[in-house]
Amino acid sequence: MQTIDEHIAQIEEEIRKTPYHKATEHHIGKLKARIAKLKEEKFQKRTGGGGGGGYAVAKTGDASVVLAGPPSVGKSTLLNKITNANSKVGTYDFTTQAVIPGMMEYKGAKIQIFDVPGIIEGAAKGRGRGKEVLSVVRSADLLIVMVDVKTLDKISLIKNELYENGIRLDEEKPKVEIIKQLEGGIKVNTTTKLSLSYDTIKELANEFRLPNAEIIIKEDVSLDKLIDAFMGNRVYLPSLVVINKIDLGIPNNLEKRVPEGIRSVLISSEIGENLDVLKERIWEELKIIRVYLKKGDGIDYQSPFILKKGKTLTDLLRNISICNKEDFSKAKIYGMGAKFPGQEVSLNFVPEDETVVQFI
């Protein structure tokens, strides 16, 4: 009986042999959809179904970051230097056998950072503790891909392992909405000109067993991104590459060995070099801001409220402890974002970093 891997290989071979053009687009789309479903089936079998098999991790704080990388690149040492953790440190592979959490306090925010067992080649197929590690990554707000000056070639490998597990780094979620219907067939509504044909979209819907659905597309999506939208279980995360152990010397060909477009920070966790730079980059990549509350004449600058950029005062009010929240209909703002001190704004106002807010 044919295995899942053999079935995937057979379909991939058919895709390679099929020239891509408008007449074959819907057929190739159907084949790619089948591969995506087969990979998901294999994942479910390896984890016992339901996406299980991960570590039990308690998330606290304002945001969470996962340190992922090959064994022995210094993740534990870094965690100990920038948080309150006490992760075991050793010079041999797989020192970390479980998820170790630590809390980094920065600019008034509490950022939880997880040190996980090293990702190795084949993690998405279940090698090592790969499946468990990847399950933790899926729940993070930011992923740090950590290597050292001797393992720069692992950056692309790790990113591929994550991609194979449905984790899309530094990608925007496709602007596609799929609404199941009871009847009426497939209806495609779009706000822009599409490169994909209607027949291709319909073929994908049938492949995903959606005979009746309204598909709303708000951007010119690629075939792969549309498949991701149909799968519905992709995770979209910002990422940052950290290159450790620069105290051992920086390779002369560093730029050529780091994939193009990669945003990286060079550090030495052992001697503490550039750790302040790293903390600031983590803050920037998380896209969080500080908002201060004004009560009477006092402003508490020591305990800011942390919000994601783009959130409104309504979101802030929803997440803070204030009696009779329903009594507040607007606010006064001061400092950053205010045209003048005490400017009155609605609760739909989007604050900036360090905006001072007084609900009224």
| 3-class secondary structure, 206 | helix
- Ramachandran quadrant class, 335 (left: phi over 0; alpha: psi -120 to 50; beta: rest): left
Which residue reads 């930011």 in tokens? 142
Do 181 and 167 fall into the same domain? no
Do 156 and 295 fall into the same domain? no
Do 190 and 274 fall into the same domain? no
Please give the tally of structural domains in the chain: 3
Which range marks the domain in which residue 36 is found? 4-46+174-231
Do 147 and 266 fall into the same domain? yes
52 within some domain = no
Do 134 and 214 fall into the same domain? no
**pLDDT tens digits along 244-253:** 999 998 877 7
Do 225 and 274 fall into the same domain? no
Q: What does the pLDDT average to over 44-57?
A: 54
Do 191 and 301 fall into the same domain? no
pLDDT the model gives residue 219: 97
- Asked whether residue 92 carries a pLDDT value surpassing 50, the answer given is no
**pLDDT tens digits along 302-356:** 889 999 999 999 999 988 877 677 788 999 999 999 999 999 999 999 999 999 9
pLDDT the model gives residue 349: 97
Q: pLDDT band for 120, please (50, 70, 90 cuts).
A: low
Do 275 and 324 fall into the same domain? no
Q: What residues contact residue 298 under an 8 Å CB cut-off, 6+ apart?
A: none
Give me 67's structure tokens.
């340190």
Do 137 and 74 fall into the same domain? yes
Do 112 and 160 fall into the same domain? yes
From residue 147, alpha-carbon distances to 78, 89, 286, 315 in Å are 12, 16, 20, 37
Question: What is the share, in percent, of the chain residues with pLDDT greater than 70?
Answer: 88
Question: What predicted TM-score, i.e. pTM, was given to this entire model?
Answer: 0.86
From residue 309, alpha-carbon distances to 6, 139, 283, 290, 354 in Å are 45, 19, 12, 10, 12
